Amino acid sequence: MDNILLSTIKAAADNHSTQAARHKYLHRSLWIASSFISVLIAISTAFDFSLFHIASKNIATLFAIILPMVTSYIVLRSPEKLWIHEISIRNQLFDLHTELNLLIKRNAEFNPADFEQRYLAIMANANKKWIEIKEG
């Protein structure tokens, strides 16, 4: 019973860790993309040139159209908020896992139902917070 609970908590923590890494990568990638596009807009407007017979003004216009799309994607997906949220949940689950593991190794008496309830409460809170973040 305790091994099942331990493995369930560990699996949930690992899953949140994986999701946190994905959101971190998405957040940083989108931030770099928007920064790079901003620099390209500045270069395209500062210098008069053509690339593949396209005037720099038209290149700047194209990048100026792309930038709001990247920015709105950042706002809609909220990768930074989700990244922080996933890390928080992961840490709570790892703390719960560690506490339960220590009790088991010490052969201390404990009620597995208490840990199940705490696990379920963390997961319910995680789901509620995720919905709040997505609804903005």
CA angle in degrees (0–180, nearest 5) for 8-10-28: 125
Question: Residue range 71-92: average pLDDT?
Answer: 93
Mean pLDDT over the full length of the chain = 92
Residue 2's pLDDT is: 72
Query: In the structure, what pLDDT confidence band is assigned to residue 86 with cuts at 50, 70 and 90?
Result: very high
Residue 37's pLDDT is: 92
Query: In the structure, what pLDDT confidence band is assigned to residue 1 with cuts at 50, 70 and 90?
Result: low
Q: The pTM is what?
A: 0.80
d(CA 119, CA 93): 7
What is the count of structural domains for the chain? Answer: 1
Domain with 58 in it: 2-135
Residue 84's pLDDT is: 96
Residue 135's pLDDT is: 86
128: pLDDT strictly greater than 90: yes
d(CA 100, CA 55): 65
Over residues 13-31, the pLDDT tens digits come to 999 999 999 999 999 999 9
CA angle in degrees (0–180, nearest 5) for 22-26-28: 120
Over residues 27-72, the pLDDT tens digits come to 999 999 999 999 999 998 988 888 888 898 998 999 999 999 999 9
